[in-house]
Structure 1
Amino acid sequence: MRRDDSEESVYQRLADVCQQIYDALLDGIKKAVYFHDAAEWDHKDDPHLYFHIIRRSAIEYLKQLAPSIEDGDNDRPPMSGLIIRQPDDLIRVWHTAAQRIPKPDTHSKRDFVKQSPSGQMPLFSVPDLSRLRGSHSNLNHVIIQWTNNDHIITRYDLVRPVNIKRGAVTVEWRRPLLGGHKPA
């Protein structure tokens, strides 16, 4: 049976996980604020440290979901490597200030955003050997794109990427999760 990767179906599958990730980010923000306040530092002076504390805290908070960090992400922008695998979906948590998701800068991230639109049927059936190779190609790829202003999350969207065009990720659909939808 073909998996439904429409916006509503993916949201129904991932609503609880999205809430857990949101709670983990809020917990991380609280810890980052506490750390900077205790040291009497301004978090804006070293945003990399601020976001690293948030990401590190989120990893601990989400241990039951077995989050991972992609190799090589230590020199990447903050939050770029938080990955959570679910039975049907692979989630990457990305912090961005811009509305558009910028073009990924690594081969694995570019592969992540390239997938068929959810309603597109394949022309012919190919056996799925990806589980044997340990690939994630059979999973639906989604991004949780979040933005904060000081210590408040101002955007928290579930996004399904499908390609890269003109220097940015092409999005099939975007579901804002703040204001009316979970997380509350």
Structure 2
Amino acid sequence: MAKIRVMIVENDPSWVEVLTSLIENEIDIEITEQISTKEGDLRGSFKNIDIVLLDVIHIENGKRVCGVELARRLLHKGLKKIIFISDLVETENILRSFDIGAANYVTKESYRDIPKIIREAYHDRICIRSDISNILIDELRKERKVRVLSPAEREVYILKEQGLNNRQISEKLYKSTETVKKQLRTIRRKIN
């Protein structure tokens, strides 16, 4: 029986140890490589790797880097599947991860599920944990609401969701405050 070959890309040695001890007991999964990006940029071929467990935020060449950008480069180099692991549940990173084609996104709090998640990803299935799926569902609902808005209303809506007040929105979009107020009333009517 061929084993699922996994590479761990993680800067924190204690997490590498936790993941390694968790996975080494699995008869169908093997860790073929462990890399700390503190040691340098990832290079080489990924033809013998099935899945990479990649920390969302890591250090690459001495700089703090978003793992989503690294993942995009790895997928272009021929890597098949990436499962992001993270300390944080950050909506933007989760959405960007799935946008670029990540197989899954797991919080370190849910690390015990990683062997199951590796198997699911290997077999082209997605088993998304509830903390992540709730974020995805919320974003889907927001997106459905926004579809009824005109492009100009969408701009106003997005800025309002980011916490800007009417005056700030009007300055940013070069509109009068009255126009922004009118558009916000229309937006409320449409999405409620």
* TM-score, normalised via structure 1 length: 0.31
Q: Could you say which structure has the higher strand fraction? A: 1
* TM-score, normalised via structure 2 length: 0.30
Q: Which has the higher contact order (CA 8 A, sep 6+)?
A: 1
Return the index of the structure with the highest Cα Rg: 2
Q: Could you say which structure has the higher helix fraction? A: 2
